[in-house]
Amino acid sequence: MVIAAIVPARNEAPRIGATVRALGAIGEITETIVVDDASSDSTVERALEAGAQVVRLPARRGKGGALRAGLERTIAEILVFIDGDLGATAEIARILLAPVVAGEADMTIAAPAPGRSSGFGLVEGLSGAGIRFLTGRRFTRPLSGQRALRRDVVARVSLAPRFGVETALTIDAVRAGFRVVEIPIEFEHARTERTAAGFSHRARQGGDVARALLSRLRQRSPRA
C-alpha cells in the first residue's frame, strides 16, 4: 500500500526539515512530497536535505493549489496532509493514519484542544458555523490542515483554492457520505501574530473560507 504525505509550504525554512524528518520516521509513509509555494527563502533546500521529494511552484497558488500539485505527483491510495511548519510534531500523522489504514474512517482530522489555536477565532467560528449549517455536523477544529484520507475521498470532492481548502474538503466529504472523524491530538506550529501582517493573513483566510461556503451553499448535495 502506497501512503504519501503531502506538505504544502511557503517560507518555512526554519521548520520544514524537522517536519520532513518526523514524517520520514513513520514507517507507514512511503513518500513525503513537499510542495513549495514559490518561497523566497531556503525552504526547498532544507526539504531536499531532509529527504523529501519537492515540487516547486513558480508562482503562488495558495494552500489548495499546493495540495492539488502534490496530488498530481503521487498515486498513493492513502494520503496525509501536513502543514510545513509542524516541525517534530508532524509525528501526529501516525495517529491520524491508524483509523484510515484500518478501514475505520475515510478521513481523520487532528483536533487540538480549544485555546491552542494560533488564530483569532473569528475565521474558525465562521468555518464551523458554515459546515454545521450545510452538513448538520459539528467540528471543533474545522480549519485544521492536519488530515489523513483515502484517495477515493479526493476523487469525490473539489479542493477549494487557497485557505478555503479545509472547509470545503470537510463539507464535500460529509455530503458524499464519507466517514469523517476528528481525533483530539496536540501539535505545534508557527503562530499568526497580532500584527498588520497577521491581520492581513486572517482577512485573506476569512475571505477564502466565505467563498468556499458560498459556493457550496449554491450546490446541490451530491449523492453518496
Query: Using alpha carbons only, what angle is made at residue 36 by residues 121 and 186, rounded to the nearest 5 degrees?
Result: 40
What pLDDT does residue 138 have?
Answer: 97
Task: Let me know if residue 199 belongs to a domain.
Answer: yes
Closest CA to 23 of 106, 100, 92: 92
Task: Give tens-digit pLDDT for 40-71.
Answer: 999 999 999 999 999 999 999 999 999 999 99
Task: Let me know if residue 224 belongs to a domain.
Answer: no
Task: Give tens-digit pLDDT for 22-39.
Answer: 999 999 999 999 999 999
Domain total of the chain: 1
Q: Domain containing 94: what range?
A: 3-217
Task: Let me know if residue 180 belongs to a domain.
Answer: yes
Say whether pTM exceeds 0.75: yes
Tell me how far apart the alpha carbons of residues 58 and 39 are, in angstroms, rounded to a whole number.
9
* 119: pLDDT strictly greater than 90: no
Tell me how far apart the alpha carbons of residues 117 and 66 are, in angstroms, rounded to a whole number.
23
Task: Let me know if residue 55 belongs to a domain.
Answer: yes
Task: Let me know if residue 170 belongs to a domain.
Answer: yes
What pLDDT does residue 15 have?
Answer: 97
Phi-psi region of 170 (alpha: psi -120 to 50; beta: other; left: phi over 0): alpha
List all residues 6 or more positions away from 102 whose beta carbon is below 8 Å from its beta carbon: none
What pLDDT does residue 224 have?
Answer: 39
Task: Give tens-digit pLDDT for 176-223.
Answer: 999 999 999 999 987 655 556 555 666 777 788 999 899 898 875 444
Task: Let me know if residue 223 belongs to a domain.
Answer: no
Confidence of residue 20 (pLDDT cuts 50, 70, 90): very high
Task: Let me know if residue 222 belongs to a domain.
Answer: no
Q: What is the CATH number of the domain that holds 204?
A: 3.90.550.10
Task: Give tens-digit pLDDT for 102-113.
Answer: 999 999 999 998
Task: Let me know if residue 139 belongs to a domain.
Answer: yes
